[in-house]
Structure 1
Amino acid sequence: MKKSSVIGIIIIAIAIAMIVVIYTDSSTYSTFTEAKEKQTELYVVGVLNKEKDLHYEPKVDANHFSFYMYDNDSTECRVVFRGAKPQDIERSEQIVLTGKMVGDEFHASKILMKCPSKYNEDEVEVIEASTASTTVPGMPATGNR
């Protein structure tokens, strides 16, 4: 075999591997109904139900936050997040959750909020909260920024 043929085969193999990785890693937004059926970690997008209370009591458990959210199909579900309450979640225009259903609750491992920017009216600010944040004794818990 010629050297150029071997290099061509290697380039084609790398391209196929990249396509497979991108295809398996690409995910689409799901609904709470799909999350109940699949029982795997999914992305669910929706809006906060502002008519119901947000439950966060840092003196009792600083790593427990729950709220109600509507998905794109207008299905309401209780969301439990094992982390501190994300700042300005009440202002969010849209919420993207990463997690899975446990019973009738959606247990989120990450919360991505799309909020109106405080600087420009036409821009959207994106804030991410994750359960992987670290806390220092005596310091307030902060999410990834």
Structure 2
Amino acid sequence: MKDSRHQRRVWYAVGAVLVVAFLAYGTTSFKSNLTPYVSFAEAANLERKVQVAGGLVENSTEYLDESQELRFTLVEEDGDTMVVHYDGIKPGNFEEAVQIVAVGSYDNGVFHAEQLLVKCPSKYQGVEDEVREYGSET
């Protein structure tokens, strides 16, 4: 009977160690996959993948169809700008974007985006403005 209790305790201990190891691995994997939003200045000082967001600077877009290289400039609310290079197909609604989020890293004065997220104006935006104007007249 002592042997079976001892074996159970060993299996419980092994199971507990495996659970702790799995949780530790999961936590470190989760943290390494987080991609924080940072300012342009912060992105320039970090050597890891981050997200930056800004508006598209007018007439700054250059797209090479053959190589699928997209180059453009983003501007933050405070006026700081950042040149972004993206290798891939240009999103169809790129020029209409009210905000662009670039996921990637900064190197040698350029932000190299691995992914672009394009926020377009809402089709209801004009309706919302009309409702606000109508509501303010009363």
On whether the aligned pair clears a TM of 0.5, the verdict is yes
1:39 and 1:4 map into 2 onto residues whose CA distance is: 42
Residues 57 and 16 (structure 1), Cα distance of their counterparts in 2 relative to 1, 3 Å cut: closer
Q: What does 1:23-34 align with in structure 2 at a 5 Å threshold?
A: 23-34=31-42
1:109 CA drift (Å): 2.2
Question: Structure 2 residue aligned with 1:44, among 30, 52, 57?
Answer: 52
User: Could you say what secondary structure the match of 1:66 adopts?
Assistant: strand
5+ residue gaps, structure 2, are 1-5, 126-138
Residues 5 and 84 (structure 1), Cα distance of their counterparts in 2 relative to 1, 3 Å cut: closer
Q: What is the TM-score with the length of structure 1 in the denominator?
A: 0.64
Q: What does 1:1-145 align with in structure 2 at a 5 Å threshold?
A: 1=6, 2=9, 3-49=11-57, 51-58=58-65, 61-71=66-76, 73-116=78-121, 121=124
1:83 and 1:107 map into 2 onto residues whose CA distance is: 12
* Higher share in helix: 2
1:35 CA drift (Å): 2.2
Aligned partners of 2:35 and 2:49 also within 8 Å: no
Aligned equivalent of 1:138: none
1:91 CA drift (Å): 2.0
Residues 19 and 40 (structure 1), Cα distance of their counterparts in 2 relative to 1, 3 Å cut: closer
RMSD of equivalent CA atoms = 2.5
* Higher share in strand: 1
Residues 25 and 85 (structure 1), Cα distance of their counterparts in 2 relative to 1, 3 Å cut: closer
Question: Number of residue pairs matched?
Answer: 117
Aligned equivalent of 2:129: none
Name the larger-Rg structure. Answer: 2
Percent identical among aligned pairs is: 26
1:14 CA drift (Å): 1.3
1:88 CA drift (Å): 0.8
5+ residue gaps, structure 1, are 123-145
